[in-house]
Amino acid sequence: MTSTQITPSQRAAVVTGASTGIGQATVRLLAAQGWRVFAVARRADRLQELAAETGAIAVPTDITLDDDVDRLLGIVADAGGVDSLINIAGGARGAERMVDAKTADWDWMYQANVVGTMKMIRAFLPMLREQTDGGTVLNLTSTAGMVSYEGGAGYNAAKAAQRAMTRALRLEEAEHGVRVVEVLPGMVHTEEFSLNRLGSADAASKVYDGVEKPLTSEDVAGIVAYAVTVPHHVNLDEIVVRPLAQAAAHKVIRKQ
């Protein structure tokens, strides 16, 4: 393998969840800023389109599979390594109350949000630790990990677990020169999040009915890019971001 030491002028990142939404927007923004970006997701066709558009390196990967993660690590190391791991992949499935909870949906959410993130971190930490100018792990969690709501128990539980893991990681890695950042978005209108969760375009659109200017993928990507670009001694531990119309998890201003 080639050296995995990143020079100060050559920032490089792995971005998961890159086939859509916030992950895709983050790849676009970092690539435009001159980063070398490894775009990671399961859907190879979407990654290839993104790579052609941005110059990112497409690496189709299922982050919940050990063999896929090991293959990704080898590709990244052979290409020169990275100093930042940006874990965007995740999501929600279902909005049933506990009495109607679907085991398959809960299993998927835990694997996608928690276990997949853990496997990526476990694989890349040795590389991040060896960076002379410091490595960074950024996990995209959610305000759903802070405040629970009816019909959200599975997603609340998965994001709360991902949040707890992130906070433990920060304590463990500070002495190794790895900063750990958590970005917690509230209501973000993306291409697929609510559609995947609720199963229909009509149900997904109702989530945002009457909400003036919900956050966009680009809004959150800008915050992610800022957090990994500031000087390494600056650690933005937790960044909670909501649209103005969402004053709190339980209060959303909707105009008719």
Domain boundaries, position 46: 12-252
pLDDT at position 1 is 37
200, part of any domain: yes
Catalytic-labelled residue, pool 110, 149, 155, 208: 155
Residues in the chain: 256
Q: Calculate mean pLDDT across residues 136-164.
A: 97
Which of these, 64, 83, 55, lies nearest to 16 by C-alpha position? Answer: 64
Model-level pTM? 0.91
CATH number of the domain that residue 164 is part of: 3.40.50.720
Which structure tokens are listed for 19?
A: 């086939």
Torsion of the alpha carbons at 113, 31, 19 and 133, rounded to the nearest 10 = -20
pLDDT of amino acid 249: 82
23-62 pLDDT per residue, tens:
999 999 999 999 999 999 999 999 999 999 999 999 999 9
Report how many domains make up the chain: 1
Q: Would you state the pLDDT for residue 197?
A: 64
Q: Which residues pair with 13 in a beta bridge?
A: 37, 84
Q: What pLDDT score was predicted for residue 223?
A: 98
Residue 3 belongs to a domain: no
In a domain, 114, yes or no: yes
In a domain, 31, yes or no: yes
Structure tokens, 79:
């290409």
**How far is the CA of 94 from the CAs of 43, 69, 101, 146, 225, in angstroms?**
22, 27, 8, 19, 30
Does residue 5 sit within a domain?
no
Answer yes or no: 155 catalytic: yes
Residue 104 lies in a domain: yes
The answer to whether residue 6 sits within a structural domain is no
Asked if the structure places residue 100 within a domain, the reply is yes
